[in-house]
Chains A and B, each alone.
Chain A
Amino acid sequence: MIDTSGITMRFGTVEALTALDISVGDGVTGLVGANGAGKSTLIKILLGLLEPTSGTAHVLGHDIATESAEIRRLVGYMPEHDCLPPDVSASDFIVHMARMSGLPATAARERAADTLRHVGLDEERYRQMGGYSTGMKQRAKLAQALVHDPSLVFLDEPTNGLDPAARIDMLQLVQRIGRDFGIAVLVTSHLLGELEKVSDHVIVLDGGRLLQSSATSDFTQHTGGLLVEVLGGDAERDAFGEALARTGLTCRPRGQLVAVDPPPRDLSLHALVRDTAADLGLGLVRIQPDQAHLEDVFLTQGATHG
């Protein structure tokens, strides 16, 4: 869907993006980074609204430098800031935006009505948007990005300003767009935790640099391994680990715990851990599934980056 190579963007002395190489595929891709990480800048470059200082990129097979009009025909964009005229109804506005994306009049009306239903704007759609709550505005902004049935949408902080319940609704909607509507999604947020739930793939930006790009499943799936803590200090921990290793398991110390890799064959890891501890006369404090989180990745790698 998207491939960039060496994208650098400088605003005067500020380097917003530094030699960025990323690639985005089908489904939902989360683009995560703190404020000022360069998320919005990257999206604007991909849309052809900003010209990168250097580097090249392709969106849906089209070069951003020479074919941005073609790209803009095929993608949808939900900006992070307010962009709705207050004195028009959502219904009229979305129809107009559909037409501005090239839909003929009848199709524009039909798709606008459908899209507004999908994003969950009902009777309110006939009211002027100036009176909308933030949640309703976000939905209207999302609707205009989807109305022309794009192949790819850029959603810049769709959960911005939403209360927790509305946030969950919006994230579910984002997930549906990627999975059920068959539209590839690039969605940004500065909250990692919120994107790991809905993304198939996560790209982490830090100060304009690529920090991490991997499938969400790589680091959030339950690995099948366990984390075990036994009573006592390092000596007890090591004794326990060695005893487990003798049974053919791979394990290593992690802090106060012993991390046990998934067993190679079908065997009850829990039972084995319990029996080994009993043999050694060690007290078990806890056994938990070893499940890495995005937060961990961000924290450990972000720290090394300064």
Chain B
Amino acid sequence: MAERTGVIHDIGYRGYDGPREGTGALALTLYVTGLRHAFGLGRSGRSKVLPFLLLGLGVVPAVIVVGVVTMVRLNSLPVSYAAYLGQIQMLVTLFAAAQAPVLFSRDLRHRSIVLYLARPLPPALFALTRWASLASAILVFTLLPTLVLYGGGLLAGLDTGDETPVFLRSVALQLMLAALLAGITGLISSVALRRGFAVVASILALIVVAGVVLIVQEIAAYEGIEAVGEIAGLFSPWALHNGLAQAWEAGGRSTIVLTDAWAWTYLATALVVCAACLALLVRRFVKVGSR
């Protein structure tokens, strides 16, 4: 028989007297690790395939748009920032749906969460940090193609004064969108611990609902009953984003045209939904420690 594995090696034990990081630094470490994991970095080679494939699919059309603008010498982007995101909304949603379980299901499913909870980071901060990682990953995903559009557009001679405010407003809406998508997909993944279930549920909640909302809005616009379309928009993060992008000139397109009051209602809804998701996420992780 070969030497049994697991023999205890006689090396002297050394203690550790060095510095220990505070709670803030711990949260930052967890945040960065989570952000990297959302793109499969620091994980197996296979887990990098999907996020980077989706990211590539999301960026390539932007590169093409910029190419067209450069060659044809257009004086504005044929598809502006928020409208571009509306076009790739399926990719963004798939990315969020597929990567949320990486951050929210794994620790619960394999029970490694108890190892985190037995460490200094409080459970609420753990949940919020996970959310911040996912939201940042989604933001990176949407920011990259719009940056290509913006930077490429400026290089192609578009007017900085025209483009910059539109771009910045789009970035602000992307923040809202990322916060919402991370909250919703994170919450779903923290309850549906099987990855398949979580992905399907997220797709149902985001893509299917967004599709239904869009159909309702089209019908409402055709029939001339705007109120129905406006209310319907409250039920989908994408309708919120697209509606606001149109109303606040972030280079968006939307079936419905929001009045000021409705625009503020949309923003308020987004904030409330996001806050509710965060509260539920925190509750979930605070409770799980006591099991």
Using a CB–CB cutoff of 8 Å, the interface residues on chain A facing chain B are 44, 47, 49-51, 69, 72-73, 75-77, 79, 81-88, 92, 96-97, 99-104, 107, 111, 114, 117-122, 124, 135-136, 139, 144, 148-149, 165-166, 169, 172-173, 176, 180-182
B224 within 8 A of partner (CB): no
Q: A101 contacts which chain B residues (CB < 8 A)?
A: 20, 119-120
Residue of A nearest to B111 (CB): A83
Which B residues fall within an 8 A CB radius of A? 4-9, 11, 13-16, 18-23, 25-26, 29-30, 33, 42-44, 106-107, 110-122, 289-290
**Are A100 and B116 in contact (CB-based, < 8 A)?**
yes
Q: Which of B16, B21, B42, B290 contacts A49 (CB 8 A)?
A: B290
Please state if B20 and A73 are interface contacts (CB–CB under 8 Å): yes
| Contact status A117-B9, CB under 8 Å | yes
Q: Complex Cα distance A97/B113, Å? A: 11
The residue in chain A whose Cβ has the minimal distance to the Cβ of B22 is A102
Q: Are B25 and A102 in contact (CB under 8 A)?
A: yes
With A100-B29, A102-B20, A102-B22 in contact, do A85 and B112 touch (Cβ < 8 Å)? yes
Closest Cβ–Cβ distance, residue B67 to chain A (whole Å):
39
Given contacts A83-B112, A84-B110, A101-B120, 5 further A-B contacts (CB under 8 A): A83-B110, A92-B42, A100-B115, A107-B18, A181-B15
Q: What is the bound-complex CA distance between A140 and B155, given in angstroms?
A: 54
Q: Does B26 contact A104, Cβ atoms closer than 8 Å?
A: no
Known contacts A99-B29, A100-B29, A136-B6; A114/B14 CB under 8 A: yes
A117 touches B25 (CB 8 A): no
| A142 CA / B112 CA spacing, docked (Å) | 13
- A120 to B8: give the CA distance in the assembly, Å: 5
**Known interface pairs A111-B16, A149-B15, A181-B13. Does A49 touch B118 (Cβ–Cβ under 8 Å)?**
yes
CB–CB B8/A100 < 8 A: no
State whether A118 touches B120 (Cβ < 8 A).
no
The 3 A-B pairs with the shortest beta carbon distances in the complex, nearest first, are A149-B16, A102-B20, A77-B118
Q: For the complex, give the distance between the alpha carbons of A73 and B129 in Å.
A: 19
B14 closest partner in A (C-beta): A114
Instruction: Determine whether the beta carbon of B19 is less than 8 Å from that of A104.
Output: yes
User: Across the interface, which residues of B come within 8 angstroms of A44, CB to CB?
Assistant: 290
Which A residue sits closest to B107, measured CB to CB? Answer: A85
